[in-house]
Structure 1
C-alpha cells in the first residue's frame, strides 16, 4: 500500500509493507514529517481496533479453581433466583486471571516486539519480587459501578500475603513501559488490576473479555444482574492462596494445554 505526502512542495512516498513502513524523500524535514504522520495514523488506527492480547497474571491455580467452583455452586444455590444471576455469566475456572492492560497488536512483528519488551522488563520485575515468587491470596469480591442491584462485572480481590504492593508495582511498571512504547494506553496513574469472576458479556459469548476495568460497553449488549445478596453473603469469600511466579502476554480467544490463554511471551519472577 502506498501513500503520498507533500511537504513544502516535496513529495514523500510511504510504502507500508507488512509490519514496516518505508519512507523516502529528497529532504530530511519532509521525511521527518511523514514519519510523524504515519505514527499518528497507526496510533489512531490501533485505538479503533479490538484488543488482540493482554498482560495477565494467571489465577488458575488448582486451589483457586476449587474455591471458585465452590463459590459458583453456592451462589447458584442461594442467589440463583436473583435477577440476572445464572451459570452463563461465571468465568471459566481455567481462565481465571488478573488483567493488567490490553494490547492491539496489528501483526506478527508487533507481537514479537511486545514479547521482547516484556523480556526487557525482567530485571525490573525481579527487583520488585527480589527474584522470588509472590505468595498471593484471593479473597473477597468487589464491583465497580454505583448500584449493586445492577452489576455487569464482579471481581475477585487479590493481595500479596506480606501486605506489600509488589503486585501493584509490577503492574504499574509494565503499563508504564508498554505505554511508552506506544503499544498500550495508560488510562490512570495506578493500574486497576482485576480478576473477573462474573461478567454479563459471557451470556452471549463465553470467550468475551472486557477491555479493562474502565471499559463501558454499550448497555444494550448486556443484561445486568442483582449482586446485593452475593455481596452480602460472599463479600469476604476465600478462593485460595498460591505462589504467583509469572506474568504473560495472553492471546485473546485462545487456549493452551492447561485451559488457560496461549502465551505470546512470559517473564518469571524467580
Structure 2
C-alpha cells in the first residue's frame, strides 16, 4: 500500500512523494560552515524539473536562495554538520546557512542547474518533515466569547459543579476560560514574522470567497448542546459545545472547509480530516496543568498518560441540550497561541470580517 498510495508532501504548491528515510536525532551546532563548493563536478542528479525553483545563473555556476525559519537550520546542519555535508556531497553543491537565530535565506550554489535543483528539493523535503514536528503557534478561529454565550457558559459551569462536582475528575480547573471560548478551524506552525505575514495575507485573500458564502452579512449562530468524541463517556478528556447557523444552513461549515482548503494548498496547514469539526471546547483535561493549553481537536485521548480523564455521563444526561446563547458571528481570525488581547480573547495576527 505504501507503493500504491504513498505519502504526499505539499511544499509551496508542489507535490512530492515521501520516501521512507531514517531520521536522526539533531543537535544545534556552532561549527563553521564549509567553504564554497564551486567547481565540483555533477555526475548524477534526481529527476527534478529545473524550472520548479528560481535558480539564477551566475559567473560561477548556478544559485538558489530559499526562505527557511532560523529555528529549522539545525535540521539541515545535523549533528556535527553531518547532514549538510552529506547533502553537499550527494548533490555536488555548496549549502550556505546563516548563523543560528539570524533570520535569512539558505543559499545553494553549484556548477549545474540540475544539481542545485536537486539540492533544493532535498532541503525542502527535509525541512517539511521537521516542520511537521514543531508545536503549533497560531490557529484559525471563530470567537464564541459573545457576552450572552459567556453568561450561558458560566451558568453551565456553576450547575455542573453543583450537580456533578462529585463525579470522577470533574472540578473547576478543567473548564474553559469564558473570555476565550472559540471554535478552532485549524492549527498553524508559523516560525517567524515572515510566515505570520504570509498567513495574514493569505487570510485576506480569502475575504471575497468568505463574503460570497455569507452574502456579505454576519452569520446568526447558536451555541446549544454538548458532545464528546471518544467512545467512553466515563473517560472523557474534552467536552464540546455544538455551534450551528440559526437558519439551518451549512455556511459556517463551508467557510471553515474553504479556509482549510486554502491554507493546506499553500502548505501552511495540514488537512486532518475531510471536513472541519464545528465545535467549541467547554471542558478540557489539559487545563488541569495549564489553563492556557490548546488542544488540536483530535479525537480519542491524545497524550492520555499526561491527562486525568473525567466521567461525563451525568453531565451529558443532564446538560445534553444546554443553551449557551446566540449572537451574530462576523469574523474569523488568526489567533496567537498563549496570548491575550485587551478583551481577554487571543491576540490576532490577522482578521477578516463577513460583512
Shift, 1:215, TM fit:
7.3
**1:83 Cα deviation (Å)?**
0.4
**Secondary structure of 1:48's partner?**
coil
2-side partners of 1:19 and 1:53: how far apart?
22
Q: Report the TM-score, using the length of structure 1 for normalisation.
A: 0.91
What do residues 26-57 of structure 1 show as CA deviations (whole Å, max 9, x unaligned)?
Answer: 22212221222222122112111111000000
Alignment partners' CA distance in 1, 2:251 and 2:105: 37
Q: How many residues align?
A: 253
Q: Deviations over 1:33-89 (max 9, x none)?
A: 122222212211211111100000000000000000000000000000000000000
Is the 1:137–1:242 contact (alpha carbons within 8 Å) kept by the matching residues of 2? yes
Consecutive aligned runs of 4 or more in structure 1 exceeding 4 Å deviation: none
* Segment drifting more, 170-179 vs 216-225: 216-225
**Higher RCO (C-alpha 8 Å, min separation 6):** 1
Structure 1 residues 154, 94: closer, same or farther in 2, change over 3 A?
A: same
Return the TM-score normalized by structure 2.
0.70
1:133 shift after superposition = 0.5
Contact 1:19 1:108 in 2 (8 A): no
Residue in 2 that maps onto 1:71: 156
RMSD between aligned residues: 1.1
Kept in 1, the 8 Å contact 2:236–2:312? The answer is yes
**Equivalent residues of 2:331, 2:353 under 8 A apart:** yes
**Offset of 1:189 from its aligned partner?**
1.0
Unpaired runs of 5+ residues, structure 1, are 1-17
Alpha-carbon offset, residue 23 of structure 1: 2.8
Matching of residue 180 in structure 1 with residue 269 in structure 2? no
| Distance in 2 between residues matched to 1:215 and 1:42, nearest whole Å | 29
Q: Residues 136 and 189 of structure 2 are in contact (CA less than 8 Å); yes or no, is this contact kept in structure 1?
A: yes
SS of equivalent to 1:132: coil
CA radius of gyration, larger in: 2
Give 1:250's match in structure 2, choosing from 303, 312, 335.
335
After superposing the two structures, state which structure 1 stretch, 215-224 or 90-99, moved more. Answer: 215-224
Is the CA contact 2:175–2:282 (under 8 Å) kept in the aligned structure 1? yes
Q: Is the 8 A contact 1:102 1:212 kept in 2?
A: no
Q: Could you say if the C-alpha distance between residues 117 and 216 of structure 1 is closer, same or farther in structure 2, counting changes exceeding 3 Å? A: farther
Whether contact under 8 Å (1:91, 1:196) holds in the other structure is yes
In structure 1, which of residues 142, 148, 153 is the aligned counterpart of residue 227 of structure 2? 142
Deviations 1:83-135 (A, max 9, x none): 00000000000000000000011111111111011111111111111111000
Do the aligned partners of 1:192 and 1:213 also contact (CA within 8 Å) in 2? no
Among candidates 252, 256, 271, match of residue 167 of structure 1: 252
Classify 1:21/1:194 alpha carbon distance in 2 versus 1 (closer, same or farther; 3 Å): farther
Q: What secondary structure, in the 3-state scheme, does the structure 2 residue paired with 1:154 have?
A: strand
In 1, the alpha carbon distance for the partners of 2:296 and 2:228 equals 16
Contact 1:95/1:261 (<8 A) preserved: yes
Q: Give 1:238's aligned residue.
A: 323
Contact residue 43 and residue 182 of structure 1 kept, 8 A: no
Preserved CA contact (<8 Å) 2:230 2:300: no
Q: CA contact under 8 A between 1:207 and 1:253: conserved in structure 2?
A: yes
How far apart in 2 are the matches of 1:75 and 1:19? 52
User: How far apart in 2 are the matches of 1:19 and 1:188?
Assistant: 34
1:194 is displaced (CA, Å) by 2.3
- Does 2:222 match 1:133? no
Give ranges in structure 2 of 5+ residues lacking alignment: 1-102
Residues in 2 aligned to 1:108 and 1:40: alpha-carbon distance in whole angstroms: 22
